[in-house]
C-alpha cells in the first residue's frame, strides 16, 4: 500500500527507568539495543523521525535523530510525547499531515506498522488509528493527524487529560490488529524476566 508521508516519533520522555543499572532502551536484544531495533524497523517506514525525550540528547546515544523535550511540564506521560511529535512534524518537515508514535521499549515492532495503520484508518473512515494484538489495543502505538495538535494541547494543559486512550476515544479510531503468536510485535520489556524472554524470542524467531 502506498501511504502518505509520515513522521515517526519514539516516545522516551519519561523519567529514566533502569534495570540493573541499564536504562531499558539501551538493553541489548539480539545484538542490538532496543532503541536501535526500534529505529532500524521504523525509520524505513517513515520520511523523518525524532525522539521525544526529557533528557540530554546523549542519553539516547548516537542515533542521529533530533531529540525534542515535552512542551508540557512535570512529565505528564506519553500524550505529551505525542504532542511533541505533532509539533515536530510541523517544525522539522516540509509536510504536515501524519505522525506515527511508538514506545521506546518494544523490540519487535512490525516492519509494516505504518502501512497497516494508514490502511486501518482509511478502511474505517476514521480520524486516527492504533495497533492491537492478542485482543488488546495499544493506544500509544498510533497514527495521528497533525490537525489535532491544538486539541491535544488543550486537553493536556487545560483539561488535565493524561491517558492516551482517554484522549483518542474522542475521535473515530481504526484498529490495525496483529497476531500475538509466535511473537507479539508489541511485546514490551519492563522486567529482567521480560528481557530474558525477549532474548529467547529474538534467537528463535530472528525475522520477528
Set out the domains of the chain in order of their start, with CATH numbers. Answer: 6-204 (3.90.550.10)
Q: Which helix (H) or strand (E) holds 89?
A: helix 78-92
pLDDT over 90, % of the chain: 75
- The better pLDDT of the pair 114, 67 is held by 114
The b-or-e profile of 152-184 (16+ CB within 10 A means b, else e) is bbebbeeeebbebeebbeeeebbbbebeeeebb
Q: Could you tell me if 139 and 168 are in contact, meaning their C-beta atoms sit under 8 angstroms apart?
A: yes
What pLDDT is attached to residue 136? 96
Q: How confident is the model at residue 53 (pLDDT cuts 50, 70, 90)?
A: confident
Region 15-26 average pLDDT: 68
- The better pLDDT of the pair 101, 70 is held by 101
SS3 5: coil
> For the whole prediction, is pTM greater than 0.85?
yes
What pLDDT is attached to residue 21? 61
Residues composing the chain: 208
Using CA atoms, how far residue 184 sits from 78, 174, 177, 198, in Å, is: 21, 19, 11, 10
Amino acid at each position: 500500500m502506498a501511504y502518505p508521508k509520515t513522521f515517526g516519533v519514539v516516545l522516551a520522555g519519561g523519567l529514566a527507568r533502569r534495570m540493573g543499572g541499564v536504562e531499558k532502551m539501551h538493553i541489548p536484544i539480539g545484538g542490538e539495543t532496543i532503541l536501535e531495533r526500534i529505529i532500524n524497523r521504523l525509520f524505513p517506514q517513515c520520511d523523518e523521525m525524532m525522539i521525544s525525550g526529557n533528557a540530554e540528547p546523549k542519553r539516547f546515544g548516537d542515533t542521529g535523530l533530533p531529540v525534542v523535550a515535552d512542551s508540557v511540564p512535570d512529565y505528564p506521560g506519553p500524550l505529551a510525547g505525542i504532542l511533541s511529535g505533532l509539533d515536530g512534524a510541523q517544525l522539522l518537515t516540509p509536510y504536515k499531515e501524519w505522525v506515527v508514535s511508538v514506545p521506546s521499549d518494544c523490540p519487535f515492532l512490525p516492519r509494516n506498522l505504518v502501512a497497516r495503520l494508514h490502511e486501518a484508518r482509511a478502511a474505517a473512515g476514521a480520524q486516527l488509528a492504533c495497533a492491537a494484538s492478542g485482543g488488546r489495543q495499544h493506544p500509544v502505538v498510533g497514527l495521528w493527524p497533525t490537525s489535532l495538535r491544538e486539541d491535544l494541547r488543550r486537553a493536556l494543559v487545560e483539561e488535565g487529560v493524561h491517558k492516551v486512550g482517554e484522549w483518542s476515544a474522542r475521535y473515530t479510531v481504526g484498529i490495525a490488529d496483529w497476531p500475538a503468536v509466535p511473537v507479539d510485535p508489541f511485546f514490551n520489556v519492563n522486567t529482567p524476566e521480560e528481557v530474558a524472554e525477549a532474548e529467547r524470542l529474538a534467537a528463535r524467531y530472528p525475522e520477528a
